[in-house]
Amino acid sequence: MSHQALIAILLLSPFVGFLLNGLRYRSQNYVLAGSIATGAVFVSFICSVMLMMDLIAAPADQRRLTANFFEWIAVGGFKVNAGFVVDQISSIMILIITGVGSLIHLFSIGYMHHDKGVTKYFAYLNLFVFNMLILVLGDSLLTMFVGWEGVGLCSYLLIGFWFSDAAKAAAGMKAFITNRVGDAAFIIGMFILFFSFGTLNMYELNALAPTTVEASWLGAATLGTLMLFIGATGKSAQVPLYVWLPDAMAGPTPVSALIHAATMVTAGVYMIVRLNPMFVAAPNTMMIVAIVGAITAVMAATIGLTQYDIKKILAYSTVSQLGYMFLAVGVGAFGAGMMHLMTHAFFKALMFLGSGSVIHAMEGEQDTRLMGGLKKYLPITHFTFLMGWLAIIGFPLFSGFFSKDEILWQSFASPRGSVFLWVAGAIGATLTAFYMTRLMALTFWGKSRVPKEVHPHESPVIMTIPLIVLAILSVVGGFIGVPHLIGEYLGHIPNYWAEWLAPVIKTLPEAAAPHTATQEWALMTTSVTLALISAFVAYRIYTSGKGTNEAIAKAFGPVYNVVNNKYFVDEAYFGGIINPLVKQSQNLWMYIDVNFIDKTTHVISDMTKGAGSLARSFQTGNMQQYAMYIGLGVVVVLTFVLMR
Amino acid sequence: MPETNILTTIGLEHYLVLSAVLFSMGMAGVLLRRNLIVLLMSIELMLNAVNISFVAFSKFNNNIEGQIMVFFVMTIAAAEAAVGLALAVSIFKRFKEVNIRFFEHLKG
Amino acid sequence: MLLSVVLFLPLVFAAILALWPQKSTIRHLALGFSLIEFLASLAILRNFDANSAALQMVEQYAWVPRFGISYFIGIDGISLMLIMLTTFLTPIIILGSWTSIADRVKGFHVALFVLQTAMMGSFLAMDAVLFYVFWELSLVPMYFIVGIWGGARRIYATIKFFIYTMAGSVLMLLAIIFLMRLTPEVTGGSISASLLDFYKLQIPFVAGEFFTAQTLLFFAFALAFAIKVPLFPLHTWLPDAHVEAPTPGSVVLAGVMLKMGTFCYLRWVIPLFPEAAEHFAWFFVALGVIGIVYGALVAMVQPDVKKLVAYSSVSHMGYVILGIFVMNQYGVNGALYQMLNHGISTGALFLLIGMIYERTHSRMIAKYGGLASALPVFTIMFIIVTMSSIAVPLTNGFIGEFLILMGSFQYSPMAAGISVLGVILGAAYMLWMVKRVFFGPKGEIVTHAEEDKEHALHDLSVREWVVMTPLIILIFWMGIFPNHFMDYSKKSVDHLISNKHNYTLEVK
């Protein structure tokens, strides 16, 4: 089959699924709806695999399959095609999206079977996959932006899926509007790049990227990429626009797994990798990206320490892990960023689905304080979750270990890295190990705190299969990109990942400072040891039952309070921006529209009316007065005529 | 000393002055009085003032047309008096007075 | 001939309807007529040569030869799309008002058809006096539509609307007469009201001085059109008129009448007074940008859905003005596209609000809530239209807004930087409204309807489906294949942008 046809099927299959389910949205036949949706995504997955095989078969410098369907916009010199491209980067993304996506769809059949809106749910989910595929396959920034906004829309619909709950509807709205803030910057970024380089096509942009790095803050590449990055902070939930993601947990859990962990939120990372030559040319932007990534990684991890809602913990963990990815791309380790994107997709989707399984078992309860000891009720869920836990804390040889370690090493060793970034990353890793262990301990281990009326039970096969598959991927997924250093010890495993991406990744122009293998070993050992120690501490605290709310709150005092309240960021936004804005708008309306403009018009109309009533006072209806006016008029006219 | 004939010494100006005086009196009556009968009489006065100037011009210009016009005016004046008096009578019947403010009641 | 037929057919229909004896079939007849009119306008589309910037299908007959006034109409790429919009919306409006207009049905449809001719006339007229006649004529039926079939404060609203617009057009009339007196320079002695002769005029312009002929004429025209658009701060008639107008009135008003203002900037102001327009562009760009942000902010706090949409119109029309006055290809093409988008999406919003008003007799946002569970299909439609209104890609709104922002970025990055706030605020006010009306726990109205079985809320009827479907289709069609629409106008816009200093239209 031709590439065009494959790409078309890849894209349209979820869309057809969306239409099929969307048109019969009233149906409550969850098996049919789920089969259609899962099938649609699975078809896409098969297409992705076929495209990937084609790519692998092609010579390394020709690994790019394009499909141009039609000219979308053409105005003056601005031309954008509905063009899609599968290359080394997007092929990985489509595999993740459709692969993990299929598993999550499958899981949803079990998870959502009791919901009345199940068909609508699957329709939205397919629409999301469609938009996500547009995002990653689009060959220009604008086509990417189509998907970019499209996934935001689906996210809005799915977060607010149970819309009759005002808080959930509000969470959806918050997600969309926060994303819009980023999108507005993204639009400006596109303009800057277009008017500086004359195209929005990403390959052309990359080819046109300045070869010498821009030292100035006001260069086109720097400003353009900075604006795009602001867009990315919205979509990928980075400081300062991360606030929507924790709230987004209002959506169904599989949605959190698919959209808010595995795929959509990584779009920002993907965008930067996609445009890496442009970012490489803008070291200032890269610096910002790395710093924002590091801050996010640590800050979100600290908030994760204090949360009790199982999904909220995972949400902050996601924000934190996304921070790692930005840290990676910010120091120029694009391959490591992509690698972490993939492994994170595996283990975080796994853990979200696992938490879904737990919530399912707990009949909707999400508070970890009411769980504990679930290990014996949910053996499969527990075991798969355990794999995810090992992966995320970076236990050696699990997938997360390879990607996270590579990021930490690069943040230190890269010419654009620094020891501070490494320290932030290491702190983040330590905290991650702590809160994830805490999550495990509170949920699965220790004594059961489950209320008597709840009877936890293992989820059906349709839900455990995706868990098992993802667990396997979480364990072995990292071996595709084993760092050179470790690879040598493990029998010379080549770093397939780096080789695969090498043609599309631009190396940093700066020469790397010489680093020794000893340094790398030392840093790796340090971070792993720190993580393991903190995991052990967490294990001790939370399985022993000492880790109660009050005890910890007392121990840390006001610090705990600030962290527990998420640094009051939401409050600051509402108090500092949103509420004053609404209030000032009210004033604008009242004082400018109603009291100024309308009043002014009324004054003018009153003046006209006044003049009218003045003239009217002459029109008394008294004949004699009229005659007098005539007489006076005659006198005036006569005087005028005779005096001349 | 030549004999002064009063008829020959009276010139056009005198007639016109007389006419103007009568016209002004009539107009003042029309503008100021409220009694319909007086109004009608004042109008009559104004018309006749005009008539005087017509006749005077006719005489001094040796043109008969002015005198013809006077007949027209007199006819119109008669008609006007007839209509005006009829209105006055009907107003009087209704309001027992012939003040022109009662005409305001005619409007819808 | 075709153009005149399309132009006057509605007037003929109005006459037939006025004399039609049977009351019960008026609506069917009107719907049939409006469809015939739409088909006739499709014939224009077929015969139109999109590869030419010339004025096409020109018809010119002497009208008042002594003053050089003629019946002179023609169509180019810029007016074509607006004609199509007008003829497309009319059947939808008639079908949409099927139940909401209950009394004086005949009068309503007569007014609507007269209005249609008047609006199309002002798009097609190439003679200043003819244009003025149509421009003013359009006020009269609208005055009655708001004044007779409107809401509680309809008289206030309709008079405000009439006088605002009238006040502007008086100055314009003066300017037209002034221009006519200048024409002997270019026609060789005889006076002319033809727009083509106006184009040839070189009106003296001195930068920096206000009291020069071109500047004054420019402001006379610009003011008249700015009121119609409406441009901040002349917009306050719009919310009142929209709130009081019956649904079909709002749709015509938002859908077509506002575009008369923006269209005339392209047809009259820029080609006639290019130097003044360029010199004062910053002023209109600034007003456009203020309008975008201001309209959005004020829309956010409206308690009445219809008023919210009315203020969103102010915001959207701010984009159009912004696009026109940056005077580059992106801006003007985007502005023209945005005119169509706004006609479709705001028209659709008003229709939807009308449907819900018919069911609940309330437009207060606070009384709603939880409507989505009662009216699922309606909600989906509303959300689709909302997405178009806030310019989500693949809907029509995105193309227009993006191009306008792009054009304004080329003109001044700061203008783009501020107006891009409209993208955020647009999402904020629309989604906030959607949240309060459709989501959340069931509000007063929904609970009432659930208790009261007789007045239960029912989802879209077949008629309402038929009303909405073409709009929804167009929203996506225009968003996914903008070239299908823009190709008709690109040539004319390019011609205008590149030749505005010696603009002329070839006659074909």
Residue ranges in C201-328 assigned as alpha helix (H)? 213-228, 237-244, 247-252, 258-264, 270-272, 274-279, 281-300, 305-325
Give residue A550's pLDDT: 67
- Three-state secondary structure call for residue A196: helix
Size of interface A-B (CB pairs under 8 A): 14
The average pLDDT across B63-79 equals 91
Backbone dihedral region of A59: left (phi > 0), alpha (psi from -120 to 50 degrees) or beta? beta
Chain A residues with CB under 8 Å of B104 CB are: 621
pLDDT band at A558 (very low <50, low <70, confident <90, very high): confident
Return the pLDDT at B3. Answer: 61
Residue B96 lies in a domain: yes
Largest Cα separation within chain A, whole Å, is 126
| Of A37, A33, A174, A13, nearest in space to A117 by CA | A33
Q: How many structural domains comprise chain B?
A: 1
pLDDT at C286: 94
Chain segment C305-317, per-residue pLDDT in tens: 999 999 999 999 9
Residue C12 has pLDDT above 90, yes or no: yes
Asked if B31's CB is within 8 angstroms of A628's CB, the reply is yes
- CA-CA distance, C392 to C386, in Å (whole number)? 9
Cβ contact C317:C258 at 8 Å: yes
CB distance A598 to C313 below 8 Å: no
C262: closest CA of chain A, how far (Å): 20
Q: Cα separation of C39 and A178, whole Å? A: 45
The closest alpha carbon to A231, from A271, A260, A174, belongs to A271
Place of tokens 């409507």: C371
pLDDT digits (tens, 9 = 90+) for A58-91: 888 888 888 889 899 988 888 898 999 998 899 9
For range C9-25, the mean pLDDT: 89
Report whether pLDDT(C145) > 70. yes
Nearest to A327 by CA among A420, A257, A391, A394: A420
Token pair of C81 as six digits: 């799309």
Share of chain A above pLDDT 70, in %: 98
pLDDT confidence bin for C359, thresholds 50/70/90: confident
CB spacing of C297 vs A585 below 8 angstroms: yes
> In which band, very low, low, confident or very high, does the pLDDT at C388 lie, cut at 50, 70 and 90?
very high
User: What pLDDT score was predicted for residue B107?
Assistant: 64
Please say whether the beta carbons of A407 and A340 come within 8 A.
Answer: yes
Q: How far apart (Å, rounded) are the C-alpha atoms in residues A276 and A502?
A: 12
Instruction: Label residue A237 left, alpha or beta by phi (over 0 means left) and psi (-120 to 50 means alpha).
Output: left
* The pLDDT of residue B108 is above 60: no
Helix (H, G, I), strand (E, B), or coil: what is residue A343?
helix
Chains C and B touch (3+ CB pairs under 8 A): no
Cα A17–chain centre separation: 24
pLDDT class for A619, splitting at 50, 70, 90? Answer: confident
Question: Quick one: average pLDDT of A390-397?
Answer: 88
In degrees, rounded to 5, the angle at the alpha carbon of residue A305 between the alpha carbons of residues A303 and A311 is: 80
* Predicted pLDDT of residue C131: 93
Confidence of residue A260 (pLDDT cuts 50, 70, 90): confident
- The pLDDT confidence band at residue A444, using thresholds 50, 70 and 90, is confident
Are the beta carbons of C376 and A25 separated by less than 8 Å?
yes
A178-212 residue pLDDT tens:
999 999 999 999 999 999 998 899 988 988 888 88
pLDDT single digits (tens) C146-171: 988 888 888 998 988 888 888 888 88
User: Is the peptide bond between C233 and the residue preceding it cis, with omega within 30 degrees of 0?
Assistant: yes
Q: What is the CB neighbour count within 10 angstroms for residue A615?
A: 9
**Residue C92 has what pLDDT?**
93
Using omega within 30 degrees of 0 as the cis cutoff, is the peptide bond preceding A283 cis? Answer: no
Question: What is the DSSP pairing of strand A64-75 with strand A78-87?
Answer: antiparallel
The burial class, CB within 10 Å (0-12 / 13-18 / 19+), for B65 is exposed
The mean of the pLDDT values for chain C is: 90
- Would you place residue A547 in the very low, low, confident or very high pLDDT band (cuts 50, 70, 90)? low
Percent of chain C with pLDDT over 70: 100
CA distances to A533, C99, C105, C401, C496 from C361, rounded to whole Å, are: 66, 13, 20, 33, 47
Residues C493-505 pLDDT 10s: 999 988 888 888 8
State the virtual CA torsion across C158, C159, C160, C166 in degrees, nearest 10: 110
pTM: 0.89
Question: Is A621 in Cβ contact with B27 (below 8 Å)?
Answer: no
Distance CA C316, CA C242 (A): 15
A 10 A CB-CB count for C162 gives 18
**What's the whole-number mean pLDDT along residues A101-125?**
90
Q: What is the mean pLDDT of residues B18-37?
A: 89
Q: Write the pLDDT tens digit of every residue in A335-373.
A: 899 999 999 999 999 999 999 999 888 888 888 888 888
Testing the interface with C: which of A191, A197, A230, A579 to mutate, by most C Cβ within 10 A?
A191
CB contact under 8 A, B30 and A621: no
What SS3 state is found at A190? Answer: helix
pLDDT in tens, C289-308: 999 999 999 999 999 999 99
pLDDT digits (tens, 9 = 90+) for C201-224: 888 888 778 888 889 999 999 999
Give the pLDDT mean for C213-237.
89
Q: Answer whether A150 sits within 8 Å of C392, measured CB to CB.
A: yes
Report pLDDT for C40.
Answer: 92
Contacts of residue A307, defined as CB under 8 A and 6 or more positions apart, other chains included, come to A313, A316, A435
pLDDT at A317: 92
pLDDT of C273 higher than 80: yes
pLDDT in tens, A233-258: 999 999 888 889 988 898 899 999 99
Contact C312, C426 (CB under 8 A): yes
The pLDDT score that the predictor gives to residue A577 is 85
CA A110 to each of CA A27, A33, A78, A98, A113: distance values in angstroms, whole numbers, following the listed order: 16, 12, 47, 19, 5
Mutating which of C307, C394, C489, C495 best tests the A interface, going by the most A Cβ atoms within 10 A? C394
Identify all chain C residues contacting A142, using CB atoms and an 8 Å cutoff.
Answer: 402
Assembly ipTM: 0.92
CA proximity to C72, closest of C6, C129, C127, C133: C127
- Return the closest-CA partner of residue C237 out of A173, A489, B80, A598: A598
Bridge partners of residue C251, in order along the sequence: none
Segment of A374-383, B44-53, C147-156, C444-453 carrying the highest mean pLDDT: B44-53
The 3 state secondary structure assigned to A348-398 is HHHHHHHHHHHHHHCCCCCEHHHCCCHHHCCHHHHHHHHHHHHHHCCCCCC
> With 0-12 CB in 10 A as exposed, 13-18 as middle and 19+ as buried, what is A442?
buried
Using DSSP, state whether A22 is helix, strand or coil. helix
Domain residues of chain C, as ranges? 280-499
Distance from the Cα of A544 to chain C's closest Cα (Å) equals 41
For chain A, percent of residues with pLDDT exceeding 90 = 39
Residue range A32-51, pLDDT digits in tens: 999 999 999 999 999 999 99
Alpha-helical segments (H) within B1-108:
6-9, 12-32, 36-61, 65-95
Q: What's the mean pLDDT in C336-350?
A: 93
Q: Does A379 reach chain B within 8 Å, measured CB to CB?
A: no
- Burial group, residue A383, by CB count within 10 angstroms (0-12, 13-18, 19+): middle
Of the candidates A71, A176, A184, which has its C-beta nearest C431's C-beta? A176
| Beta pairing partners, A585 | none
Q: What angle do CA A475, A478, A484 make, to 5 degrees?
A: 140
Domain boundaries, chain A: 1-139, 140-564, 570-643
Only one residue has tokens 């867009």, namely A231
What pLDDT band is residue A306 in, cutting at 50, 70 and 90? confident
CA distance A3 to A10: 10
Domain annotation covers residue B1: no
Alpha-carbon Rg for chain C, nearest whole angstrom, is 22
**Residue A135 clears pLDDT 90, i.e. is over it:** yes
Statement: residue A145 has pLDDT above 90: yes
| Dihedral over Cα of A276, A279, A283, A284: its sign | negative
% chain B with pLDDT above 70: 91
A-C interface: how many C-beta pairs under 8 angstroms?
136
In a domain, B60, yes or no: yes
Q: What is the structure's pLDDT at C186?
A: 85
Assess contact for A534 and A434: CB atoms under 8 A: yes
- Choosing among A75, A230, A601, A604, which should be mutated to test the C contact, i.e. which has the most C CBs within 10 A? A75
User: Which residues constitute the domain of residue B94?
Assistant: 6-106
d(CA A246, CA A303): 11
A549 pLDDT band (50/70/90 cuts)? low
Predicted confidence band at A497 (pLDDT cuts at 50, 70, 90)? Answer: confident
Q: Which amino acid is at A327?
A: L
Q: What is the rounded average pLDDT of the residues B60-70?
A: 90
- Residue-averaged pLDDT of chain A: 88
